[in-house]
Structure 1
């Protein structure tokens, strides 16, 4: 989904990124806690399973479901604690203090 808390994927830049990742033969999982409640055109991974052994997390939207994420637990599950925030949704200061490398669109 592209819009917060709306299961609508029209005009979502996520599909462009998915295609680019496929072209580069990158292994990735897709999770959308709002869109997973409707029939999906792509394979979705549940939010509870998506962080395990990951090298990075790319957030493309700012769903309310992401506000309650336990980043201490997430960091322990990840191989590389990198968060890329496509919506400037999270506190970079907080995530950096937890040991994440935090990058956000439009921020240095």
Structure 2
């Protein structure tokens, strides 16, 4: 037996979802499955960032043969890497400034 989850929605919301599915050229069922996968990834400590569909497609192809399971995992990794590199650069700049000050004071 297939594992199913039932979600009750109003007729107005159902209409909007069907229109959205048609705009994305996918089935209503596929739209719901996509939405469910997004909600499964979310927890109270996460947020959603919206990126263009074409970029998401490129990212999907990029991670295809990697250990990243989702685009979200990959983007999180890249953002952490950028933040780390930026913090290292600012630490180097701080160290350079400290050395300059110590040298100007005659300590180096």
TM-score normalised by length of structure 2: 0.23
Q: Counting strand residues as a fraction of each chain, which structure ranks higher? A: 1
TM-score normalised by length of structure 1: 0.23
Larger radius of gyration: 2
Higher normalized contact order (CA 8 Å, seq sep 6+, divided by chain length) = 1
